Chains A and B, each alone.
Chain A
Amino acid sequence: MRLAAALFLFAATALADEALDALEKLRQEHEAAVEEFYRPAREAHERGEKFQLDYDKHPNGAYAERYFAFARAHPKTEAAAQAYVAVLQTTRSEEMRRDATASLMRDHMESAALAGAVYWLADVPGALLKLSETSPHRNVRGLALFVMAEAAMEDEAEGAVALLREVKEKYADVPYYQEVTLGQKAAGCIFEIERLGLGMEAPDIEGKDVDGVAFKLSDYRGKVVVLDFWGDW
């Protein structure tokens, strides 16, 4: 009996690994297709020319369908959870998005992959609250709480600040995007609510200009200032 159980477990694990490998292959294929899609524009840019991309032919739509089919074929596995998250990140179809979020909520609330789905789960009533309380993964709980707070910023500033403080206290070191942590993001959101509202005195900025000369925003007091956060891209 014990041997049979062990063999079964072994077979199940091997199958799960196989599914993850197959998904990884699909991901690589997708990545190559995206690369290929942008290639003419990149080459034109290198020649100093412009190239108009036809975004209707972007491979994301086709790969969303394939991720979706893959998830359906491997129900209740970690590979399925990752595939549903990939669907959310690629599809433009509302219906497919609804199906993917419903499957994630039903079968995959314990998956670490949900870290990549928190913004899409914001549309599902109660999903983020549940995730922030029950996910076994600390980063998923933190991200869920932060996205809840961000949503609250729109119409309920006080509640948002309370949630943001909680994010800062419990999840400050959790990565949000590239080098940015949830602690920095939460601090930024609190600063925005408390210091950057219409009718508030603009916080001073000290820095250097493009020629390396130090100056301050408050040097321009007495003048109307249009402050423009920009980049040449």
Chain B
Amino acid sequence: MYPHERSLVTRMKDRPFALIGVNSDPDLEQLRARCAEEKITWRSFWDESTEGPIATRWNISGWPTIFVIDHKGVIRERDVRDAALDSWVDRLVRAAEEEAEASGE
């Protein structure tokens, strides 16, 4: 998972894109060490455990669970991985950029 996420973040650098995590590891110290080790540079909410407040509210029962949210804040897809995730991101980021350009003119 991490290599693909890293490449996604690198590829989308300086474009209207963010990878945001909700992390359920109970040990914060160890989590920080792992983030350094694996070069996890993207931001995560720390949710304390798999029964943390965010995961409970969002009814998450499997990890990882992924939501793709467009630039207007609308949920567009969930539970996509790999190439399918890349193509969703490509499409939505392009749409966000086009809209920004159009409104800038």
* B76 and A198 contact, CB distance less than 8 A: yes
* A226 and B75 contact, CB distance less than 8 A: no
Residue interface mask A85-120, B partner, CB < 8 A = 1: 000000000000000000000000000000000000
CA distance A142 to B9 in the complex (A): 44
Q: How many pairs of A and B residues are in contact by the CB < 8 Å rule?
A: 158
Checking A189, A217, A220 against B59 with a beta-carbon cut-off of 8 angstroms, the contacting residue is A189
B contact residues around A230 at 8 Å (CB):
1, 21-24, 44, 63-64
Q: How many residues of B contact A (CB 8 A)?
A: 55
Check A3 for interface membership: any CB of B closer than 8 A.
Answer: no
Q: Who on chain A is nearest to B37 by CB? A: A232
- How many chain A residues sit at the interface, stated as a range, is 35 or more
Interface of A is mostly: mixed
Which interface residue of A191, A228, A231 has the most chain B CB atoms within 10 A?
A228
Measured CB to CB, the residues of A under 8 A from B are 178-180, 184-185, 188-189, 191-192, 196-203, 205, 207-211, 215, 217-218, 220-233
29 pairs, CB–CB < 8 Å, chain A vs chain B: A178-B51, A179-B51, A188-B59, A191-B57, A196-B78, A199-B74, A200-B74, A202-B67, A202-B69, A207-B46, A209-B46, A210-B35, A215-B45, A220-B18, A224-B68, A224-B69, A224-B96, A226-B19, A226-B69, A227-B20, A227-B21, A227-B68, A228-B20, A228-B22, A228-B64, A229-B24, A229-B65, A230-B1, A230-B22
